[in-house]
Amino acid sequence: MTRFWTPWEGRPRPHYSGLSALLAGLGRGVYRVAAPVVRHRWFAAPVFFGVVVLGVVFVWLCGLFNEAVLADYPVLRDLLVVTGLAIFVSLVPVFCIWWERKVAGRMQSRCGVMRVGGWHGWAQSPADGIKCLTKEDLVPDDADPVLFRLAPYFALTPVVVAFVALPFGTYWVFRHLEVGLIFVLGMLGVEVVAVIMAGWASASKWTVFGAMREACQMVSYEIPLGIALLLPVMTVGTLNLAEIGNAQAGGWHTWLVFRSPFLFVAALVYFITSLASCKRAPFDLPEGESELVGGYHTEYSGMRWALFFFAEYVAMFVVSALAVILFFGGWNSVLPDRWGEVLGDGYLARAVRGVVFGGPLWFLVKSFLLIYVQMWLRWTLPRIRIDQVLYACVQVMLPLAMVLLLGHTLWELWLPPELIAARVVNVILAVIGAGLLLAALAVIIRSRLNARRLVGYLAVDLLPGA
């Protein structure tokens, strides 16, 4: 293989002008310098290791300075937190797009991306980003010039602003909002406006109808979503996300999902309705239609389209993070917090407690596990029609959510957690949850051990010559 790719003889050269020429030249220069290094097989490991080390150092510095120095400099703290959040929000879609393609490949008995970058195609996402930057800036003639250009930013901004109230740990939050939960819900609801704007501004019948359907779906599923979210709020008694997370600090049996059978089902209802509000998995009819006919982002290309997909993956993370905080223990580990008190209060003790007994790491791992479940559902289940979508919302999810709300209210009134019956049910549900997790682990281990026989050698061994 050549050290870097060159166009074939007689390929028509694209003409860039102005800022686009600068960007294209920059991209081409970066590629020529980086390609021989990046394609080397052992490039990925040091990069990954370096990123992890830098991340750990950044997090440790934040934890160190948050109490001592930064309490007196709110502006500096805010700047640091905003920088950290901007970096995180940029990295999550980049990683998730690569991961989605690998997961899709695995689900379909193939390897996924393998070429770009030396190890399992890790550089595919940055390469896609550079490609999107160098694409033609296309605006349809009949499109509304202002709204067409504005729509991707209307889609991306709310989900990024939702991170203002989203805690990664007890003190790892930009602002301790008293009304954190409904703030995040409001931000997710604002996305509908962006969808309508994008569909309308494209000046095409198909995009308008696709945007209408999609907005209708997102708005309808907000109702059972909100009702399902009422249950943990009612249990803990506050809308403050940090307090809800702290209420589940006593070990994995205190996670809200195991407290009553109504909360158990409510977690499932929330997960399904959040899939619909993210336009994900079986509810991606508008996106699926975009492969065939229309859809709100059909006229968008290049970086604008990339921004819509950034918004989608960041929304996936926000929605998974909400589920983790409200139902699955937030940033607490499976061990109770008070077992960690014996360690003392030094720096090392705090670091160990942050890793073992709860902290942002647990939060990230759990959120990405839920994102994996979302990707798993997308590549397993077929798409459902719009009338089936609305039937599921209004005739299944909504009555179910109402029954859960009523049932949980009565449960909290008649069976407070001190009663022995409530504890028995709690333990039974916790055992069921642990059993499900262990069963999933067993299935994964078995399939990894028998991969060549079950899935085929093409998904396991590299092709000759790769």
Among 24, 35, 139, 147, the residue binding another protein under the rule CB under 8 A is 147
Q: Which is nearer to another protein, 161 or 361 (CB)?
A: 161
User: Which range touches another protein (CB under 8 A), out of 48-56, 131-139, 207-215, 299-307?
Assistant: 207-215
- Residue 322, SS3? helix
Calculate the alpha carbon distances from 8 to 12, 13, 71 in Å: 9, 11, 59
**Does residue 163 interact with another protein by CB under 8 A?**
no
User: Which range touches another protein (CB under 8 A), out of 85-93, 144-152, 356-364, 422-430?
Assistant: 144-152
Structure tokens at 354: 């942050």
Separation of CA 194 from chain center = 19
Structure tokens at 4: 């870097």
291 sits in which H/E element: helix 285-292
Q: Under a CB-based contact definition with an 8 Å cutoff, are residues 379 and 107 in contact?
A: yes
Which of the residues 64 through 83 are near another protein (CB under 8 A)? Answer: 74-75
Phi (first) and psi of residue 358, to 5 degrees? 130, 145
Which residues pair with residue 332 across a beta bridge?
A: 358
| Of residues 171, 194, 196, 195, the one with CA closest to residue 65 | 171
Instruction: Give the whole-angstrom CA distance, residue 139 versus residue 308.
Output: 16
**Does residue 234 interact with another protein by CB under 8 A?**
no
**Does residue 185 interact with another protein by CB under 8 A?**
yes
Q: Which is nearer to another protein, 170 or 238 (CB)?
A: 238
**Does residue 182 interact with another protein by CB under 8 A?**
yes
Instruction: Give the whole-angstrom CA distance, residue 436 versus residue 121.
Output: 32
Which of the residues 2 through 61 are near another protein (CB under 8 A)? Answer: none
**Does residue 178 interact with another protein by CB under 8 A?**
yes
User: Which range touches another protein (CB under 8 A), out of 79-87, 181-189, 294-302, 372-380?
Assistant: 181-189
Structure tokens at 272: 């399904």
Instruction: Give the whole-angstrom CA distance, residue 273 versus residue 279.
Output: 10
Among 175, 338, 423, 448, the residue binding another protein under the rule CB under 8 A is 175
Which of the residues 239 through 278 are near another protein (CB under 8 A)? Answer: 239
User: Which range touches another protein (CB under 8 A), out of 99-107, 185-193, 293-301, 455-463?
Assistant: 185-193
Positions touching another protein (CB under 8 A) are 74-75, 144, 146-147, 150, 175-179, 182-183, 185-187, 189-190, 192-193, 196-197, 200-201, 208, 212, 215-216, 219, 222, 237-239
